[in-house]
Structure 1
Amino acid sequence: MAHPNVEARSQIQHEYNFIKSMAGSAGIVKAHPEPLADDEGIYGFRLEYLFKIGFQDVKAKSKEVQKVIETLHALATAMAT
């Protein structure tokens, strides 16, 4: 989806960079290596296919889910400073 204003494109660029910084982390969706771009820069990006996880699956994978949340928190904190 193309976003016409600078603020929206800036946010998309930030999200893309954040997802790319998470590459290789267990349980984190991966972005396609090439973002959607035009002459004005990135206006979107594609992610790998996601699938639903039922509550019972989350419980069974609780340690992996906890690790993903900790990783996201650490990266978000690092990017905010």
Structure 2
Amino acid sequence: MQIAKIVGNVVMACADPSAARSALYLCQPIDESGAEISDPVIAISPFGGGIGSKVVISTDGASARGYAGDPKSPLRNSIICILDEK
């Protein structure tokens, strides 16, 4: 699991069917101070979320495939919660 910030929405002209029917976001992994720590990743989210939201992403693949409803989905990353900053 990793903390990240949503930096964009993902739109694909051609995608695996499991990705085409899902909300996908571009997420920038960050450390506890908010500094970027690696390259952005694409993550599926059943929760929605908006640009600038801090989230926790899972990289195990099982939750992403579960959210996509396809055990053979190529999706690997998923947003598992939105962090409350209050």
Per the TM superposition, whether the score is higher than 0.5 is no
Q: As a proportion of its length, which structure holds more strand?
A: 2
Identify, as 1 or 2, the structure richer in helix: 1
User: Which protein has the larger Cα radius of gyration, Structure 1 or Structure 2?
Assistant: 1
TM-score, normalised relative to structure 2: 0.30
Larger RCO (CA under 8 A, 6+ residues apart) = 2
With the length of structure 1 as denominator, give the TM-score of the two structures.
0.31
